[in-house]
């Protein structure tokens, strides 16, 4: 499924060598899963939110992404700008990765 979506935008070869899954584009953004983690790309293949997070959910009504890193979460806007600090209880591995 994701191959058809990304082929339509000619992104498969340009940005996504490690891609394993992609959601449908919403507001020209798609949550993608790579071999590493989750991130967000735009229709040009540019990484809006790097693929370093454990989970990303898009809240269309608010045009915001909820991003999880270990046991912590933060909100990012449509442009990839972090809106809130990560809150929760991080373990040592997540602290080192950010």
Could you give the percent of the chain with pLDDT greater than 90? 64
Residue 98 pLDDT: 47
pLDDT tens per residue across span 6-26 = 555 555 555 566 889 999 999
User: Which residues neighbour 94 within 8 Å (Cβ) at sequence distance 6 or greater?
Assistant: 69, 70, 71, 72
């Amino acid at each position: 499924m994701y191959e058809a979506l990304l082929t339509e935008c000619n992104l498969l070869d340009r940005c996504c060598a490690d891609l394993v899954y992609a959601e449908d584009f919403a507001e020209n953004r798609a949550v993608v899963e790579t071999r590493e983690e989750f991130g967000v790309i735009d229709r040009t293949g540019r990484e809006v939110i790097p693929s370093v997070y454990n989970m990303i959910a898009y809240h269309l009504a608010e045009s915001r992404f909820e991003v999880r890193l270990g046991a912590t979460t933060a909100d990012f806007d449509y442009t990839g700008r972090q809106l809130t600090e990560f809150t929760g209880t991080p373990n040592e591995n997540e602290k080192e990765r950010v």
